[in-house]
Every structure is written in structure tokens, then in C-alpha cells.
Amino acid sequence: MIGLIYFFGVALFFGGLFWFSILGIIIAVAASVFIGVIALSLVVVFWRFIAIGLGLFLGWFLLFLMFEDIPLTLSILFGLAVVLWFVSENSDKETEVKENSIEAEIESIKRLGKNPHYR
């Protein structure tokens, strides 16, 4: 979360500084939110740091690319949104599987407790 706040602040500051426009701030915020959600969905802390580092790189890349080619920048953001949707869908499925396995384990323990042979 600290990485997300840090990246959000850096992207917002440089987005406003370089462009003096609302579009620059929107691009910076979109990149920071995307990387923040990806980083928070990762379980291993090491990969979170890598994701935040990639987010900083991606933010700078989008900031400078915005000067050259606005449609390319917007298409990259659309691609990132698709990737984010795919990752969030898969993480929901993994969480659901874990919850189901925990519930099944609890039920089997209850069944063992009711069986007089196991007391």
C-alpha cells in the first residue's frame, strides 16, 4: 500500500509538472492504480516489490510516450486494463477454491467428531 501511495504521488506530480493538463494526470493515476492492484494481489512480498518497480518504469514510460503518440498510449492502457481484468478473474477463482477446501476440511472434522469410533 505504501508503494501504491508513493507511486501515485510521483506519477501525479510529474504528470502535472510535464503536461499541465488533465489528460496527463488521468494517465498517471490510471497507471498507478493498475500497478497498485496488481501488486496488492500478489502473495509473495518479493514479487510485490518487482511489480511496484515495474509500475514506476511503466508510469515514466507512459509519461514520456504521451508526448509522442497519444493513441499508442491509450491502446497500452486498454491492454493493461484487459490484463488487470484477467488477473482479477483468476485470483477470485483461486480464492473461491481455497474457501471451498477449508469448508470441506471443517465438515470432515465435524463428521469425525460425530463418529463414536474416533472418540
Amino acid at 18: F
Cα(94)–Cα(102) distance, integer angstroms: 12
- Of residues 16 and 59, the one with the higher pLDDT is 59
| Cell numbers placing 44 | 509473495
pLDDT score for 106: 74
Q: What is the pTM of this model?
A: 0.33
Task: Please compute the mean of the pLDDT values over residues 21-35 and round it to a whole number.
Answer: 67
Query: How is residue 8 written as a grid cell?
Result: 501515485
Q: How far apart are CA 17 and CA 39, in angstroms?
A: 26
Phi, psi angles (nearest 5°) of residue 69: -145, 100
Q: How many CB atoms lie within 10 A of CB 109?
A: 9
